[in-house]
Amino acid sequence: MNVSEMLLHALREHGAREIFGIPGDFALPFFKVVEESGILPLYTLSHEPGVGFAADAAARFRGSLGVAAVTYGAGALNMVNAVAGAYAEKSPVVVISGAPGAGEAGSGLLLHHQAKTLDSQFAIYKEITCDQARLTDARTAPAEVARALASCLRESRPVYIELPRDMVAVPCDPAVALPLPPVDGDALEACVAEVLARLRAAASPVLMVGVEVRRFGLEAKVAELARRLGIPVVTSILGRGLLAGTQAPLLGTYLGVAGQPAITELVESSDALLLLGVIISDTNFGVSSRQIDLRKTIQALDHRVSLGYHTYPDIPLAALLDALLARAEARAQPVRFAPPRHPRGLQADDGPITPDDVALALNDLMDAHGRMPIAADMGDCLFTAMDVEQTALVAPGYYATMGFGVPAGLGLQAASGERPIILVGDGAFQMTGWELGNCARHGWDPIVLVLNNASWEMLRTFQPESRFNDLDDWRFAEMAAGLGGEGVRVRTRAELEAALERAVATRGRFQLVEAMIPRGVLSETLSRFVAGVRRLSQR
């Protein structure tokens, strides 16, 4: 076995099931081993941001490692934004970068793709990963890889592995997976007793679930706990799609001022808000209509549990859930709840299309043809997705980068084998929509809904006087054929409904439905979000 094979076997043993990448001369030898060994399938794309987003989506969907392989410098540094988003939203992506070999590094020459020094890239990636490894010595490489992959899974954050091209074929031992760190049983007992006491004493306990519940594969346990305790459950914006299809008393997504008033009131008036794996971010809590006193909540995140003014360290979410399930008695009367019913029944007439019509149309489509996983980009398409029936959803709901949607949809189909729906605005499509050109060779056929308002509309809602928010009308539907798919432009609700039905019926080629949305027409959720942010800022 050589260093590359050791790395590939270790990735597979830790849960990776594919690699997304773009080679370069510093990475060619490694990509050769990837392609010829067949240990993991390789999907090359066209631009490194797309590689990062696709690997991120695969990691989120599967709750295990996503892998992004790139060349040194121009490749890896091109992917920084996507990896930063994975870090912020706790997605376990393994970045593998080729690098100069020892000989060329010591040549005294400045090397191509070198920015400042040959250590600059490592330093940059230290800021957006939870662990790093440079495989410069075959004797230590297996332990370095085992440690980095264990960190990636334990922290559910990206890690960075640098593989110099002169190390690729060096003989090496296999990596031995590290055991999970032990949990202090007494601390866990004390923590669980205190959490359960707080919940029992509460008049209106509420459970909010966030990204870590998906990342650590804990949905079934959380659903059982909520059912057992008889506590209503909501998701954070980033946690949307969680518990879909379980029997948990799921009420919907907490969106503060932008959300359904009943859910906002329930969360913000709770006297015991249990936050399981919820990132305490402005997009999750900055839009609270009244300040939620986070000191009164019970927060389980980043393997710590905080109640009031004290914290139990080193309590992984999985251990906490197992212990809670072992001790939680069923509440006398299970909570009565009406599962969220998202709007459906599009009025298929000659009226113009609004983002809310898109949500209606998608709910009708999934009623007729079954749930489909969704990848959403940043823009009003993200807010529109909040009104689509609960289904597996990957979206940059906190880091909020554009460009995520299309590559993430491709990563979803690669990881799940299911046909995804991609929701993307015209501005974001201009960034990474072209990755659709890779569908044909990889056998992907997503349904892509482009909300084309020829505008950076979300920015216009905050600063309407700026003309730079006016975009030209790029005729995306006409470009689909050139990229190997089929496209249609629709202007009315009836055309939208027919186009989606045709798209579902056509397999084997991506289907691009370009929905023309009049400028200034927003989804209800985005309108409430903007109005709420304005109100809060005037406080």
Residues contributing to the site for Mg ion (CB under 5 A)? 425-427, 453, 455, 457
Nearer to Mg ion, 426 or 445 (CB): 426
CA–CA gap between residue 297 and residue 307 (Å, rounded) = 6
Per CB under 6 A, 400 contacts ligand S1T: yes
Per CB under 6 A, 379 contacts ligand S1T: yes
Instruction: In angstroms, give the least distance from the CB of 381 to ligand S1T.
Output: 6
Count of Cβ atoms closer than 10 Å to residue 257 Cβ: 20
Nearer to ligand S1T, 120 or 466 (CB): 466
Helices of type H across 157-234: 185-201, 211-215, 219-229
Q: Which of 458, 512, 515, 516 binds ligand S1T (CB under 6 A)?
A: 458
Per CB under 6 A, 455 contacts ligand S1T: yes
CA–CA gap between residue 277 and residue 236 (Å, rounded) = 10
- Select from 111-119, 146-154, 422-430, 484-492 the region that touches ligand S1T (CB under 6 A): 422-430
Interface residues for ligand S1T in 426-445 (CB under 6 A)?
426-428
CA–CA gap between residue 58 and residue 1 (Å, rounded) = 27
Per CB under 6 A, 56 contacts ligand S1T: no
Nearer to ligand S1T, 164 or 397 (CB): 397
CA–CA gap between residue 171 and residue 309 (Å, rounded) = 52
Task: Please name the residue that has the structure tokens 């121009």.
Answer: 74
CA–CA gap between residue 385 and residue 395 (Å, rounded) = 9
| Beta-strand relationship, 298-301 and 272-276 | parallel
Per CB under 6 A, 423 contacts ligand S1T: no
Instruction: In angstroms, give the least distance from the CB of 158 to ligand S1T.
Output: 18
CA–CA gap between residue 92 and residue 355 (Å, rounded) = 32
Q: Which of 88, 195, 258, 402 binds ligand S1T (CB under 6 A)?
A: 402
Structural element, H or E, at residue 98: strand 93-99
Which residue minimizes CB distance to Mg ion?
425
Nearer to ligand S1T, 4 or 469 (CB): 469
Buried b (16+ CB within 10 A) or exposed e, 56-76: bbbbbbbbbbbbbbbbbbebb
Q: Which of 459, 494, 521, 536 binds ligand S1T (CB under 6 A)?
A: 459
Per CB under 6 A, 401 contacts ligand S1T: yes
Nearer to Mg ion, 307 or 382 (CB): 382
Per CB under 6 A, 98 contacts ligand S1T: no
Contact 476, 426 (CB under 8 A): yes
Interface residues for ligand S1T in 475-504 (CB under 6 A)?
none
Instruction: In angstroms, give the least distance from the CB of 488 to ligand S1T.
Output: 19
Per CB under 6 A, 453 contacts ligand S1T: yes
Per CB under 6 A, 274 contacts ligand S1T: no
Give 3-34 as a DSSP string: HHHHHHHHHHHTT---EEEE--TTTHHHHHHH
CA–CA gap between residue 428 and residue 333 (Å, rounded) = 47
The torsion region of residue 300 among left (phi > 0), alpha (psi -120 to 50) and beta comes to beta
CA–CA gap between residue 2 and residue 16 (Å, rounded) = 19
CA–CA gap between residue 68 and residue 118 (Å, rounded) = 21
Residue 458 contacts which entry, ligand S1T, Mg ion, none (Cβ below 5-8 A, type-dependent): ligand S1T
- Start-to-end CA distance of the chain, whole Å, equals 64
Instruction: In angstroms, give the least distance from the CB of 386 to ligand S1T.
Output: 13
CA–CA gap between residue 307 and residue 323 (Å, rounded) = 17
Instruction: In angstroms, give the least distance from the CB of 450 to ligand S1T.
Output: 9
Per CB under 6 A, 532 contacts ligand S1T: no
Nearer to ligand S1T, 96 or 402 (CB): 402
Nearer to ligand S1T, 23 or 425 (CB): 425
Instruction: In angstroms, give the least distance from the CB of 256 to ligand S1T.
Output: 16
What are the tokens at 380?
Answer: 């009003």
Contact 446, 420 (CB under 8 A): yes
Per CB under 6 A, 523 contacts ligand S1T: no
Q: Which of 456, 476, 510, 529 binds ligand S1T (CB under 6 A)?
A: 456
Instruction: In angstroms, give the least distance from the CB of 336 to ligand S1T.
Output: 37
Instruction: In angstroms, give the least distance from the CB of 378 to ligand S1T.
Output: 5
Nearer to ligand S1T, 57 or 195 (CB): 57
Nearer to ligand S1T, 319 or 382 (CB): 382
The torsion region of residue 361 among left (phi > 0), alpha (psi -120 to 50) and beta comes to alpha
Instruction: Give me the residues that bind ligand S1T (CB under 6 A), please.
Output: 378-381, 400-403, 425-428, 451, 453, 455-459
